[in-house]
Amino acid sequence: MDFHRQTGESRIARAARSAQAVLLAAGLLALSPLARAQDAATFVAQNGVKVQPADAAQDSWHVVPSVVPTVQKGNVGKEMPQDHSQFPQLKGPFTSPEQVTKACLSCHTDAAKQVMSTIHWTWKAYDPKTKTLVGKNHVYNNFCVSPISNEQFCTVCHVGYGSTDPNKFVPFDHRSQDHVDCLVCHDQTKTYHKIPFIGGNPAMEKIAVRPGCGEVYGTDKPFVEPENLANIAQHVGSPTRYTCGQCHFYGGGGDGVKHGDMDSSLVNPARAEDVHMATNGLNFSCQECHKTENHNVSGSRYVTDMMFGDKQFMRGNPHNTQAASCVSCHGQTPHKGNDLNSQIQAATLNMHTRDIACETCHIPEFARGGLPTKMEWNYATAGKLAPNGSPLVINDSHGWNTYWGVKGSFKWAENVVPQYRWFNGVERWMNVGDKVQDFKDTNGVVQLNAIEGSPTDGKSKIFPFKIMRNNQPYDTQTGILAVFHSFGFDKDSYTMSYDWQTSIEAGMKAAHLPYSGHYGFVKTDMYWPIEHMVAPKTQALSCMQCHASDGRLQNINGVYMPHRPKDHNTWLERIGLTVAALALAGVLLHGLIRFGLWLRRRGH
């Protein structure tokens, strides 16, 4: 669903918006805390709005950060002033990437230890809310399902070096410090690439690109040339959106496939796509929000906080300096006003922040940088070959890949309106080995990360999500969702055999799970929180985009929607109207009697 907005507003549109704000504020007079406010100024004060100097060049209200972020100095700072091209230990030549790491560690002595203690290395984390282990190696997803048995391919997005033998995986905790990959995050040349199927190593010789995998190899050529490690090592610096994006933009097997709100358009985004990362605007790096200390990057896909009590998640607070959230800069009352009317509007908006996440209004659509995101995947259709024996490939009129023989069929979309849910930060992840029957919803769809929340628990906010859907294999006898060997050059991988039985058997064996030999396919859903691609304030959602009978929140409980049947009690409303009509009739009758008596007195 596309929403095309004008970049400017006419005076009439602004007047209409102001009138809408006044009407909305009037409609909310029956609600607390406005009902308890004795006048508009009191209401404004109660909701934390302070008068801002009037500026005719600005809109009638604007968002101002409550705390101005400052650059934190430390082991990983914003600036790396040293010219590494002058360091003799980086001159090379290097015959292996591990030699580069050893050279780095000669100065940055603790860096490898720090990296090896983070989720970027371990691929696992502890969720204190559910008291379970999470991370790539512990939970299912509905893209490539699991790295287990596919590590030599998947570690193209790991911050380490493994074995270059496609059939030999070295566990992360068995690797030495020189196997930490410094260049993948700190390269400034934009030439460094880790190659799939060889354990996350860069090319040290000319390597042929597997057909259909050019995007993962980082080239559109039939081969990749060996890396000039010395040149790259001499040109390092703080991580950039490009270096972070080499993994996070391409997760799930391609550009924009997985997250929906992250793709390569964010390397150089326009302000309309993201106000924080806009190249000609604030130009934030990833670590401006994801503050980093000792190589530990703040913010986690697996642990999300929705409520921020007593400002403990404000940036700079001693309780938590690593916050990565909107309120870390903007606070709980981000909307400000210049005059009484705009202050009332801002206060009304601030009242919404109790129940609505910032992202809900300020990210109206995702995948809006000119690149689509994958919305559906169907493994059950995989296995079809072209007449020449290669995997069948079908592209639609956009050039989007809608079928590939080694993966199945896909559906893509761009400018996607999110799905909205009450969310309290708790996700019940389906761990590897769990059974599908324990995670099915009322429609029989397996929820890989069932989210929790309600309008009454006091912990939830309405949050935007991308919901990824798949149809993936499981053991019909045990109910265990299958781990299968997708990628490899061996006969057991699906990309070589096109045989589900063989690839599932190999994957389940690698995961140390039983397999009955009988498989089927089951529908799965996976929730992806939408937190990037923040639009300019002029493109934030309007009142009627939500508070309408067919608005975005029409299926959300706990929110009043005009004309929505469940928000109305017909008999109660009829009784109320009747009482109101009788009261009006009584007033009119009383007025007529008084008028008649006045005429009678006047006649005398």
Return the pLDDT at 81: 59
User: How does residue 308 score in pLDDT terms, banded at 50, 70 and 90?
Assistant: low
Category of 461 on φ-ψ map: left (φ > 0), alpha (ψ -120 to 50) or beta: beta
| Nearest CA among 465, 447, 432 for reference residue 150 | 432
pLDDT of 524 higher than 80: yes
Q: Distances in Å between the alpha carbon of 377 and those of 323, 369, 407, 408, 547?
A: 34, 22, 8, 7, 33
pLDDT of 18 higher than 60: no
What CA–CA distance (Å, rounded) separates 116 from 94?
A: 23
266-270, 337-341, 374-378, 462-466, range with the lowest pLDDT: 337-341
Return the pLDDT at 70: 35
Which residues, listed in sequence order, are joined to residue 61 by a DSSP beta bridge? 337
The conformation of residue 528, written as its DSSP 8-state character, comes to E
What CA–CA distance (Å, rounded) separates 169 from 137?
A: 14
pLDDT of 312 higher than 50: no
Q: Where are the domains of the chain?
A: 373-566, 570-603
Q: What is the mean pLDDT of the chain?
A: 85
Handedness of CA 292, 297, 301, 304 (dihedral sign): negative
φ/ψ of 247, rounded to 5, equals -105, -50
Residue 307 CA neighbour count, 13 Å, CB half: 14
Q: Region 217-232: what's the mean pLDDT?
A: 91
What CA–CA distance (Å, rounded) separates 315 from 70?
A: 9
User: How does residue 7 score in pLDDT terms, banded at 50, 70 and 90?
Assistant: very low
φ/ψ of 502, rounded to 5, equals -70, -45
Q: Region 261-273: what's the mean pLDDT?
A: 97
pLDDT tens sequence across 408-444: 999 999 999 999 999 998 999 999 999 999 999 999 9
Return the pLDDT at 323: 56
User: How does residue 309 score in pLDDT terms, banded at 50, 70 and 90?
Assistant: low
Category of 266 on φ-ψ map: left (φ > 0), alpha (ψ -120 to 50) or beta: alpha
What CA–CA distance (Å, rounded) separates 389 from 601?
A: 107
Longest dimension (CA), the chain: 119
Which residues, listed in sequence order, are joined to residue 451 by a DSSP beta bridge? 427
Comparing 321 with 244, the larger pLDDT belongs to: 244
Return the pLDDT at 62: 31
Token readout for 145 is 């399902």
DSSP string, 112-156: HHHHTTSHHHH--EEETTTTEEESTTTB--SSS--STT-HHHHGG
User: How does residue 226 score in pLDDT terms, banded at 50, 70 and 90?
Assistant: very high
Per the confidence metrics, is the pTM higher than 0.85? no
pLDDT of 73 higher than 70: no
139-148, 226-235, 558-567, range with the lowest pLDDT: 558-567
pLDDT of 293 higher than 90: no
User: How does residue 85 score in pLDDT terms, banded at 50, 70 and 90?
Assistant: very high
pLDDT of 396 higher than 50: yes
Return the pLDDT at 327: 82
Q: Region 103-128: what's the mean pLDDT?
A: 95
Residue 96 CA neighbour count, 13 Å, CB half: 12
What single-letter amino acid sits at 353? T
pLDDT of 305 higher than 90: no
Q: Which of 299-303, 455-459, 476-480 is most confident?
A: 476-480
> Over pLDDT 90: what percentage of the chain?
66
Token readout for 252 is 């799930």
First-to-last C-alpha distance (Å) of the chain: 74
User: How does residue 60 score in pLDDT terms, banded at 50, 70 and 90?
Assistant: very low
Is 377 within 8 Å of 468 (Cβ atoms)? Answer: yes
pLDDT of 491 higher than 60: yes
